[in-house]
Structure 1
Amino acid sequence: MRIRIVAVLGDYYHREEWSVESIKQAVRDHFENDQVVVENISVTELATSLLTKPDAVILFKENRVNPEAEKVETWMDPLTEKIICEYVKNGGSWIAWHSGLASYPTQGDYLSMTRGYFIRHPEIHQLVNYRVSGAKLIDPSYDFAIIDEHYFVHCNEAETNVFLRSESIDGASIAGWAHEYGEGRVVCLTPAHLKEGLLHPNMTRMLAQVIKWGCRLV
């Protein structure tokens, strides 16, 4: 079975090439040769691309287009939000990864799909411990610790399956959750920000595992 993934990666604060490299490593090390094809696209191409029904979408991009501007703009308009939710309801897989959880609507259809969102992160990067917990989506041996931008999130824990938690000197938070939405599947994953974290072997193992879960390979 060949898996086709559409990836929307990188924003003002997050280097696209680092997330591209992380996905490449996850695919190279944890899938059979040529089992996965990844198409890197822009947000302007996303709505049209979803109509072709890819097996999964990875979003590593925040909603704000120009976060440092006086008038901040966002890319997810109501039509795109509707198309995304319909894609997942009809059997697609949506992976909201790190900045893919940031500055998106905190009410409405998209939130009913993700069931959580980014709230804040401390200004200074610290050592963050990521511990597999709860839902049996990820092997417990995938625990790891990295210097990271520690994401604190809101998560409707009663309506999803938490599989990862994070802890640092700044506190503790949920770091990964997954659930079905209609006929599709949704995964939300908060690590990582820096290149070293994105390429940590257990980070890419975890990324590969959530792709497999989203595409019903496990």
Structure 2
Amino acid sequence: MGKVMFLVDDYWHREETIRPLVDILFGEDEWTVIFTKNPEELYTNKDIDLFLSFKDPIENDQIPTPIWCDEKWTSTFMELIKNGMGFLAVHAQVTDLEKDHPIVTELLQSVFITHPEQCELSIEILKEHPVTKGVTSFTFPENDEHYQMDMLEGANVTMLANTVSKNGIQPGLWVSEYGKGKICCFTPGHTTPNMTCEGYIKILKNAIAWCVQ
């Protein structure tokens, strides 16, 4: 039985839009799921196998709001990954951190720049890998946010897929390791229909399996 902390909810990405993924991704006979808005639940759940987050580090960017992944939280989090916890960072989780934040420099290895207005968006698979197994390039059923990402110089990652739209080509899916932990970053996924389409779900299921193996 695996244990996952599934972190959600910020101003632009509400809990209810992401909740359908719980039953799709995590069978109750295989997983104990902590589905939460509160990152501090990490402190009482250090035995988790996987940390999956869709949550923006700034919970409400409409008012002055500090990031929730402060120094204490980040230190705890990174130690867990170093010791073997998997980390799946999806959509808003890859945004709104400064370039020198340890989660950026050591884990994401990429900085979010911006995104244009929602548009038709496709996933272009670049490489065979356990995370892309059985997945072919696809277009989302609805317009999505095309995240513009700046990979750090010398980033030690394996790039698995690009996101493609009229606005260009961007890094969309990559994996890396930190200590004994495996990390997967996946940038799209703004609406429930897009998050539950076949290709997206296949990537997430593959990523979950890879991150905890």
TM-score (norm 2): 0.90
* Residue identity (%): 22
- Residue 56 of structure 1 corresponds to 50
1:93 aligns with 2:86: yes
- Residue 211 of structure 2 corresponds to 214
For residues 93-113 of structure 1, give each alpha carbon's deviation from its aligned partner in whole angstroms, at most 9, with x where no partner exists.
Answer: 111100011112321421212
For residues 95-144 of structure 1, give each alpha carbon's deviation from its aligned partner in whole angstroms, at most 9, with x where no partner exists.
Answer: 1100011112321421212212322100x211111011135231263422
Distance 1:6 1:142 in 2: 29
- Residue 41 of structure 2 corresponds to 46
Q: Answer 1 or 2: which has greater helix percent.
A: 1
Q: Give the C-alpha shift of residue 50 in structure 1.
A: 4.5
Distance 1:119 1:79, change over 3 A: same
Q: Which runs of 5+ in 1 are unaligned?
A: none
State the number of aligned residues. Answer: 208
2:115 aligns with one of 115, 121, 138:
121
Q: Which structure 1 residue ranges, 4+ long, deviate > 6 Å from structure 2?
A: none
Q: Give the C-alpha shift of residue 179 in structure 1.
A: 1.1
- Residue 149 of structure 2 corresponds to 153
Q: Give the C-alpha shift of residue 154 in structure 1.
A: 1.8
Q: Which runs of 5+ in 2 are unaligned?
A: none
- Residue 160 of structure 2 corresponds to 163
Distance 1:100 1:37 in 2: 22
Mapped contact 2:149–2:171 kept (Cα < 8 A): yes
Mapped contact 2:11–2:59 kept (Cα < 8 A): yes
Distance 2:164 2:109 in 1: 21
For residues 138-157 of structure 1, give each alpha carbon's deviation from its aligned partner in whole angstroms, at most 9, with x where no partner exists.
Answer: 12634221121111112247
Mapped contact 2:26–2:33 kept (Cα < 8 A): no
- Residue 87 of structure 2 aligns to which amino acid in structure 1? W
Compute the RMSD of aligned alpha carbons: 1.8
- Residue 57 of structure 1 aligns to which amino acid in structure 2? F
